[in-house]
Each structure stands twice: as C-alpha cells, then as structure tokens.
Amino acid sequence: MKKKILFFEDLGKKEYEETWKYQKKLFDDIIQKKVKNISYQKAGYFLFVEHPHVYTIGKNGKKDNHLLVSSDFLEKIDATFYQTDRGGDITYHGPGQLIGYPILNMDYFFTDIHKYLRLLEEVIIHFLWKNYGIKGERKKGKTGVWFHVKNGKSRKICAIGIRMSRWVTMHGFALNVNTDLRYFDYIIPCGIYDQEVTSLKKELKKNDISFQKVKRMVKKSFQEIFDVEFTPMSKKLDQ
C-alpha cells in the first residue's frame, strides 16, 4: 500500500506564540479544505521545534497546579506563560526539549482519538528502545511516556497534549532530551502530584545528548509507527 505523505519542517528555535499561530494556520487550512470538499494532496504536516522557557496549560487545566508561576516569578526565571487550546494540564517547554507537532488529516489514517494518542506514545517508546535500549512505558489512566511504572517511583520523559477538530490534529509531544528539569519544580506537571520528570540526558547519565541525532531518530520512529513518508515544506504544491 502506498505510504501517506506529510510535509516536514524543522523550525529550529522559535517562540511558543509564533509557533502556535503557525500551527493554527496549517490546521485551519486543512479544515477549510475539508469543509469545502477540496481535494488535499498530502495527509498533513509534521513540525519539529525547540521553544525558549515557557509554561503552557490546556483549556481544562487547574490553576492550583501553577504553583510559583506568577508574572513576577516568570520574569525572574526568563519564562512566559500561555493558556492554550490543547487538552491536558500545565507543562513546561524549553531549551533541550524536542517538540513534535503533527498536524494530520486523520481521514488519511483512522478516526480514533485514543488510538492516535497511543500511537504518539508508541513513537517515543519505539525511539527509546531501538536507539538506546531503554524501556519507555505507559501509565494507566495517564497520557505520556514513563520509566519504571511498576517498579519504583515512575519518571515521566515525554508529555503529550493535543487538540482535534473535524478529525484534524494539532499540538503534540514534548520529549525531554537535555532539558533543565529545575523548571518543572515550579509547577505540578500535567496536574500529577506524585510524579517525577526526567530527561534522556539524566537517564543515560551523560553530559549532553546530540539533539540533532535525536531529531533524526525520532523522525524515523514517527515514519515507521505512522507509516508515512516526509517531503520538505519547500516542495509544498497545493497553495
């Protein structure tokens, strides 16, 4: 069967708000074509990005989980804060964290939001095992990827929060690679009180992990799990 094609773009380091608006533009474009029954040549987009220090909270997030995130404190730690349109509670994004934003027309895949979330988890689980031989796990009733769910205190390495409308997705996953984990101490990540947050750097006990190498490997895992091929955004044909 012919593979589905996604436009791929690595945005490098970019502010959260600017990226959010860009995502929304791509998301709205797909929806408008669906509403008008216009044929769409590709199955969607996949973006990589690395944000400056920022806290984001989902539309149903609880303010009690903000902890120290006040305007004065944000300025002190050089961070920003945004209420977003994704699901999930408060989380942190920042340097050394790989963000993946799939903006997919699920008509090309399947129309099952829970299956989609599980496949996003599977991308990270596949990446961790294939490239580092470490076992990422799911936690019952929670979204994301963890270590030692049943043996010892669980540690979360990847957060996932999405929005889906008319079977089009946006937002995605945040994988801690070389992330400064101190920024998680100022919140209750994803509203879970008893969790620890970890990074690939911490788990492998290394000074630094090649961010570019991680990007290549996560991209390959996404291709394999979702059975897609990527084409550069520069080759976009349908605008």
Residue 3's pLDDT is 84
CA 84 – CA 105 distance, rounded (Å): 21
pLDDT in tens, 71-109: 788 888 899 988 888 877 788 999 999 999 999 999 999
In this structure, what is the dihedral angle of CA atoms 140, 61, 17, 234, given to the nearest 10 degrees? 30
Using 50, 70 and 90 to split pLDDT, how confident is the model at 29? very high
| Helix or strand holding residue 215 (H, E) | helix 211-226
What is the domain count for the chain? 1
**For 211-221, what is the mean pLDDT?**
98
Residue 152's pLDDT is 65
pLDDT at 56 over 50: yes
Residue 235's pLDDT is 59
pLDDT at 65 over 70: no
What is the distance of C-alpha 146 from the center of its chain?
14
CATH number at residue 133: 3.30.930.10
pLDDT at 60 over 70: no
pLDDT more than 90, % of the chain? 65
**For 182-211, what is the mean pLDDT?**
82
Residue 58's pLDDT is 77
Residue 238's pLDDT is 43
174, 190, 197, 228: the catalytic one is 190
- Sign of the C-alpha dihedral, residues 39, 118, 88, 66? negative
pLDDT in tens, 218-232: 999 999 999 999 999
Residue 68's pLDDT is 59
**For 10-35, what is the mean pLDDT?**
95
Residues with Cβ within 8 Å of residue 137, at least 6 apart in sequence: 125, 145, 146, 147, 148, 149, 150, 154
Q: Between these two residues, 189 and 35, which has the higher pLDDT value?
A: 35
Give me the half-sphere count of Cα atoms (radius 13 Å) on the Cβ side of residue 222.
Answer: 26
pLDDT at 10 over 80: yes
Q: Token pair of 143, please?
A: 């979204």
Residue 234's pLDDT is 73
**Most confidently predicted of 32-36, 63-67, 234-238:** 32-36
CA 210 – CA 214 distance, rounded (Å): 6
158 is catalytic: no
Q: Whole domain around residue 208: which residue ranges?
A: 4-235
Using 50, 70 and 90 to split pLDDT, how confident is the model at 191? very low
Between helix 211-226 and helix 113-132 the angle, nearest 10°, is 130
